Structure formats: C-alpha cells, structure tokens
Amino acid sequence: MGAQTAAAVPTPASVLGWEPGADRKLPTWKQVTDYFAAVDKASARVTVRTLGKTTLGRPFIVAFISDSATLANLPRYQRIQHQLWDPRQRANATRDSLIAQGKNVILITSSIHSTEVGGFLTPLVVADRLARADTPEARSILANTIIMLVPSQNPDGVDIVGDWYRQTLDTPAEGTNPPALYHFYTGHDNNRDWYAFTQKETRYTVDSLYTPWVPQIVNDVHQQGANAGRIFIPPYMDPVEPNIDPVLTASTNALGMSMAWRIIADGKTGVATNASYDQWSPARQYSLNHRGARILTETASARLATAVNLPFELLGTGRGYDAKVASWNFPAVWPGGRWGIGDIVSYQVSATWALLVEAARDRAAWLTSYAALGERALDPAHPWTTSTTPAAYVIPKAQKDPAALARLVWSLQHGQVQLFESIPAGHYIVPMVQPFGSYAKALLERQVYPNLREYPGGPPKAPYDVTAHTLPLLFGVDVRAEQSLSLQTGALVPPVAEPAYQVPGLSGAPRKRIAIYQNNQSSMDEGWTRWVFDAHQIRFTSVRDADMRGGNLRARFDAIILPDQSALQLRRGLGAPYPDSLRGGLGEAGAAALKAFVEAGGTLLAFNEASNYAIETLALPVRNVLNGVRSTEFYAPGSLFGVTVTSGHPLAATYTAPVPAIWFEDSPTFEVTDPAKATAVLTYQSTGNPLLSGWLQGAEKLLGKAAMVDVQMGQGHVVLYGFRPQYRAQSNATWPLIWSALLR
C-alpha cells in the first residue's frame, strides 16, 4: 500500500486496455485480479486478500475497501462487530460507545452467475471510484463503512463464459450461453448452496467473510432477462421465510426503496421494486438468516457483452409490474431502444453507489438496529417469539446413518449454530435461544408454504425457487422439536469434522464401470451428480452424445446415469445458432444404443425428468400419470413428500431414512402397466396427503402411485426415479437408492 495520490492509482482501463462497459469486451479473470493487485499496491484505501483456490484452481479474492486508518485496524472493527451481534461479549454500558465507534460492514458479491457479465466489470468501476475519488460522498463512504468486495463469487465462470464469448465473436453464436456449466459442478445453482456449503467458493465467502464479520448489509449483483424492467431492487415479493427477523425485512425494504429513489433521481428509468423475487429459500440468502439486510439487484441483460435492440412495444411484463406502464413500484418507464454492456454496468454501478451512500449516511441507525437483532435473538420472552417456537431441537446420537448425522451437525455449526451435549448424554441439543437460533429453526422445521395464486381462483403463483429446505428429511436424520426441554443442557459441542463419504463396493476401486451422461445443454443436475460421486471418491466416465451415438456401450459400462433433463433436451441437444460440432442430442442412434445396452445386461438410471425420456424411448411398461396435467390441477415446485418402501425390494435394502422422503420438483409419477416386468420400489400412500414440507396442490394425483420403479428389460434393468435422488447434493437420505441400483 502506497500513499494516496489519485494520479498514482491505476484506472481499470490502464489494466484492461479498454473502458469497462465498452461494447463486446469482457475481461479475463487474470485481468480482473491484475487490476485489483495494482490498485491494492497504489491505494491505501484498498487491501486485497486471496481466500483460496477455486474449484478449477483460480485465485478467489476479496478487496477490503475503507479509509486507510480503518484498514490498518481491521481486527479492532471485527471485535466491535462481534460485541454488537452477541451482547454476551460486551458490558452493558458499552453498547452506545460501540455503536459510535463501529463501521457499517457491507459485503458485495458480484457475478456468481457468469452469464450476468456486467458483474465482471462493475466491481472494478466501484473500486476505482472509491480508490480515487475525493468527493464528499466518497469520503463519507470510506469513513463510515468497511466494504468487502468479492469481484466474482465464481472466478472460473469469468473465463468459461469470457473465453466462449471471445471465441464466438463475429459468428452466429455470438452472445449465446456457453455449451457447458459455468461452475464446474453447479452451474447456475451455485447460489443455491448457502446452507449446505458444498462448494469451495461458498465456503470462502462464508468462512472468511460472513462468519468473522457478520456484515450488516449484503449487495448481491445479478442480471435478469432482457425484456421487462431495467433493474430490480428490493423490497421482495411475498412470501417471506417466517424465521427471518422482521427488522431485516424492514431494513432491506427501506434501503431498497432509498436506492430506487436515488437512482431514479439520477435519471435512471425502468426501476422495479417489489417484483419478481421472493424472500423464501435460505439456499440463496445467507445474510437474511445471519443479521444482514440483503439487497439483490437484477439488471436487464443483453446478449453477454453484445447489445440488443428492444423496441418499446416489445417490452413485456415482469412479475408485479408491466414495463410499459408507470405504477407505484415501477414509477419511471424505460422508453426502449439499444441496451448493451455499458448500460448494464452503468445501472449496476449507480445502484451499488446508492447503497453505499445510504449505508454511510445512516451508519448509526444500522448499527443500532444490528445491536437490537443480537439482543432479540437471546431474549426468550421477546414478543416476536410465537407460542409454537420450540425450546429446542433434540438430535439423538444413535442414528442409522452416522455420516448423515455428522453432516447435519457439521452443516449447522458451519452456519454458526451452537449445539450442546445433553445431560444425561446421548443427544445433541439445539436451543432456539442462541445467536442464530432462528436460522437453525428454518433448517430443522418443516416448511408450510402459503397457497399463493396469481389472482383469486387463478393458477398457483410460482415461487422464485423451491419451497422446502428441511434438513432432517433431506439428510435422513431423526430430529424432534421439544416445546419444553426434557433434557438438561450440557457443554457446547466443539466443531465436528465433515463426514468422509464412503460406499462399500463403489468408493475407491468400484466393482462397476459407471458412466454419467453429459450433453451440451449443460444440466445442473449432471454437475451435482458428478459432485456427489467425487465426494464419495467413486470413479465414473462422463459420456457425451457422440460417444453414446457410437454404440457398443455394454462393452464399456455396467451402468449409465441420465441426470435430470427433459426428454426433448436429451433427444435434440443444442440447435442453431450453435456450431454443427455442438449440435444434436442422443438422437435415434443414441436411443438405439441405450436400448442395446440395457438388453445386453446394462443398468440405466434415469433421474427425475429423464425418466420420461426412458419411458418413451425404450417403450417401458410404465406411464407418467402427471403427463399433460395442468398446474391448476397439480402443483409442487420443489417439495418433500413421504413415500412407502416396498418391503424386501433389493433396491431399497440400504435405504434407512427414519422418515422416507423424496425431493419432488417437476417430477414424474408412475403407474406400472405390466407388473410382470416392472415393480415399484417406492410408492405414495393411498389416502391422505404425502406432503411433508413445502407446497403441494392436487395431492390426490399421487395417491397409490409409484415414486420409483425398477423395470426389467432383456438382460438388464432401467431404474426410474420420479424425484431427484441427489438434489443439489442435499438429499443424501436418497443417495443409497442410487448406490443399490449401481451395485446390483
């Protein structure tokens, strides 16, 4: 860090060779990190740290930005944060002086989704303004806040998307998404990992930034579709996850509305609030369960860095507004026209700057509210505690699946939840009165998603993501809520080790030759499947379309997995404008090869929607009873359902979940049409309602039908999963249903 002279601070353009926002220009990750290294060296207001290596080996960095005196004393400010969020760490009389001394800590995460490419550049422009500017606004931001700027939450994707973009410039495929997941394992699902912590990138941000700092505000920079509003800023739409502290919902709303006011006053149009995005799943909003207001911004996209032309008449409706009509939550209509990377960066920078100005100006109010959140979490008699809030969750240590138990304890502890030994021994106790008790409750209880409709009597109003996140059901661990605790609370449980996953017969040196199908449409479920196999050290081969179409599969493999993908995507793959070498899916040759593979004794596993492909292509004696059923008749957008195990079925022999539950999401449900050739492994109950957590409309469609079917075909088998058996690597209760099919 050198002395601060604006002239010596390098501009982004001096490192990139072009201005951020220039048409058809995207940076490499090396250019981004080079810029941050240069600004770190030249400015005492910026300190860059490397938190580790990404999944594919790139440096994962954060830039701390504040005034130089604050940056020189970061441990002191971290201590103040801790004393504010946990009142047990301070003497009562120090509250006001801590508020007077503390800073408003803001985490900015950019471009977790790598096709949202404005987020590659916005962090450079924001850092440049703060490192260089000498305006009253910039001085106020530097004096009152500590900014932790993560220039990309997915550095690998900056190059996966950027390389594809540069390679396809001036071809028909310019501006298309790359034909691969932009995060090696998770693709777009990389922001659905904020309570399971499966990926390295999630862990860097949680372990090095969220946990030590517990920031007051998080700004998550995203992009949305091109055709409605120019930017979304909170408030979110309903529903609100009921365990989020109301102070955070209120402060998120207030900050979002102030930002919208400010950027509209700056001349920006097309600003939507209270639209499109809800506040439900903790999978994508860590901060709202950890004391931080969450500002998601979603700026309209172009075609990567290639501009689009959007005539006014073609603008459509977002959820909650019409982009052609001024309304209370969309007050300034955008007139339409050209929209490119420069516009995206300009909107993102304006919104981020507005957030920083507001956060700096209201520093004391933010810290006062933050201290109140900490006090409320430890107050058992607080009026927001309802009569249904249990005293604690109790987890017996004797469980059928010790790895699942270890995963549950590890996951909770990793999200700052404290567990205690019981007296007498034999249980873990998770008291609700503790700093992050409401977060634990969100993950341990069953979700009751409200029955929302687009309009009274209309179709279901789709949630932004899934509706359930009950870890005891997903992991397969017996957990009970106690209204008044029957055991005494003993010592705090020290951090447990993450379990080492093992499957006898598959981990290490597998007895079976396994293939996982991968096509150019890039299925996230395929990536998660690879993650689960890698976590278990199970060897597999990724097979592509050309390989499958080439046939002779039985000579090479014992089992082939078709991850969750629609029948159409599997059959057709990519089409125009992608180059010929990437087009086509399994096609007729691939279908014939799969049929020959099974008939010659292979096992085909079809996950979720891929079951439809298997049923159609292999003419299986099974019918999907939900085929063609409308959402007004049946709806379940990511829920957990109870199932009954067919006693004695070989595929269910190692399935030990205390409450058998499957992850249902756009899933098929089966009826066997020839019982001589196909048997149900899992079945829905014949009366009542199988919903355990989330949302289900039209339960009667499922009653008595099969959730998993084993079909005999020639010498081999096809196993149909009417659910996602490794949903986002979280449904480990149902992993054994994969292993049993592979090992048979």
Residue 431: what residue type?
P
What distances in angstroms separate CA 252 from CA 231, 421, 469, one per listed residue? 16, 36, 23
Residue 32: what residue type?
V
Instruction: Between 103 and 113, name the residue whose CB sits nearer to Zn ion.
Output: 113
Interface segment toward Zn ion; rule CB under 5 A; list 30-38, 111-119, 330-338, 530-538: 111-119
451, 636 contact by CB (below 8 A) = no
Between CA 310 and CA 41 the distance in angstroms is 42
Instruction: Between 157 and 736, name the residue whose CB sits nearer to Zn ion.
Output: 157
Side-chain half-sphere exposure of 264, counting CA atoms within 13 A: 20
DSSP string, 26-62: ---HHHHHHHHHHHHHH-TTEEEEEEEE-TTSPEEEE
Longest dimension (CA), the chain: 81
Residue 158: what residue type?
V
- Nearest approach in angstroms of CB 187 to Zn ion is 11
- Nearest approach in angstroms of CB 320 to Zn ion is 18
- Nearest approach in angstroms of CB 220 to Zn ion is 8
- Nearest approach in angstroms of CB 165 to Zn ion is 17
Q: Hunting for tokens 């006062």 — which residue is that? A: 368
**By rule CB under 5 A, what count of residues binds Zn ion?**
2
- Nearest approach in angstroms of CB 624 to Zn ion is 31
Contacts (Cβ under 8 Å, ≥6 apart) of 208: 49, 51, 62
- Nearest approach in angstroms of CB 200 to Zn ion is 19
- Nearest approach in angstroms of CB 222 to Zn ion is 3
43, 9 contact by CB (below 8 A) = yes
Instruction: Between 237 and 692, name the residue whose CB sits nearer to Zn ion.
Output: 237
**Residues facing residue 24 across a β-bridge:** none
- Nearest approach in angstroms of CB 699 to Zn ion is 33
- Nearest approach in angstroms of CB 116 to Zn ion is 5
H-helix or E-strand spanning residue 79: helix 74-85
- Nearest approach in angstroms of CB 112 to Zn ion is 7
Q: Considering only residues 174-233, where is the footprint of Zn ion by CB under 5 A?
A: 222
- The correct pick among 25, 45, 58, 113 for binding Zn ion (CB under 5 A) is 113
Instruction: Between 117 and 206, name the residue whose CB sits nearer to Zn ion.
Output: 117
Between CA 61 and CA 152 the distance in angstroms is 8
327, 287 contact by CB (below 8 A) = no
- What is the three-state SS of 470-532? CHHHHHCCCCEEECCCCCEEEEECCCCCCCCCCCCCCECCCCCCEEEECCCCCCHHHHHHHHH
Interface segment toward Zn ion; rule CB under 5 A; list 106-114, 158-166, 229-237, 627-635: 106-114
Instruction: Between 24 and 113, name the residue whose CB sits nearer to Zn ion.
Output: 113
Instruction: Between 638 and 725, name the residue whose CB sits nearer to Zn ion.
Output: 638
Instruction: Between 224 and 520, name the residue whose CB sits nearer to Zn ion.
Output: 224
Residue 104: what residue type?
N
Q: Considering only residues 446-475, where is the footprint of Zn ion by CB under 5 A?
A: none
Instruction: Between 55 and 110, name the residue whose CB sits nearer to Zn ion.
Output: 110
Instruction: Between 164 and 664, name the residue whose CB sits nearer to Zn ion.
Output: 164
Q: Considering only residues 292-331, where is the footprint of Zn ion by CB under 5 A?
A: none
- Nearest approach in angstroms of CB 70 to Zn ion is 31
- Nearest approach in angstroms of CB 270 to Zn ion is 18
DSSP label at residue 94: G
- Nearest approach in angstroms of CB 549 to Zn ion is 34
- Nearest approach in angstroms of CB 201 to Zn ion is 14
Side-chain half-sphere exposure of 360, counting CA atoms within 13 A: 21
Instruction: Between 42 and 341, name the residue whose CB sits nearer to Zn ion.
Output: 341
- Nearest approach in angstroms of CB 281 to Zn ion is 14
H-helix or E-strand spanning residue 338: strand 337-339
Interface segment toward Zn ion; rule CB under 5 A; list 112-120, 269-277, 381-389, 515-523: 112-120
Instruction: Between 183 and 554, name the residue whose CB sits nearer to Zn ion.
Output: 183
Nearest to 710, CA basis, from 701, 702, 718? 718
Terminal Cα distance for the chain, rounded: 62
Contacts (Cβ under 8 Å, ≥6 apart) of 116: 221, 222, 223, 301
Between CA 701 and CA 689 the distance in angstroms is 10
Q: Which two tokens stand for residue 508?
A: 């290490």
Q: Hunting for tokens 């057709």 — which residue is that? A: 572
Instruction: Between 351 and 538, name the residue whose CB sits nearer to Zn ion.
Output: 351
Between CA 120 and CA 210 the distance in angstroms is 22
- Nearest approach in angstroms of CB 209 to Zn ion is 19
Q: Which two tokens stand for residue 460?
A: 């279901």
Instruction: Between 113 and 595, name the residue whose CB sits nearer to Zn ion.
Output: 113
Instruction: Look at residue 188 and give its three-state secondary structure.
Output: helix
Interface segment toward Zn ion; rule CB under 5 A; list 113-121, 228-236, 403-411, 592-600: 113-121
Instruction: Between 67 and 156, name the residue whose CB sits nearer to Zn ion.
Output: 156
Between CA 366 and CA 312 the distance in angstroms is 40
Site string (222-241) toward Zn ion, x via CB under 5 A: x-------------------
CA 571 vs. chain centroid, Å, equals 28
78, 212 contact by CB (below 8 A) = yes
Instruction: Between 24 and 222, name the residue whose CB sits nearer to Zn ion.
Output: 222
Between CA 704 and CA 660 the distance in angstroms is 16
Instruction: Between 32 and 117, name the residue whose CB sits nearer to Zn ion.
Output: 117
Q: Considering only residues 564-593, where is the footprint of Zn ion by CB under 5 A?
A: none
CA 90 vs. chain centroid, Å, equals 35
User: φ, ψ for residue 272 (rounded to 5)?
Assistant: -110, 135
Between CA 391 and CA 482 the distance in angstroms is 6
Residue ranges binding Zn ion (CB under 5 A): 113, 222
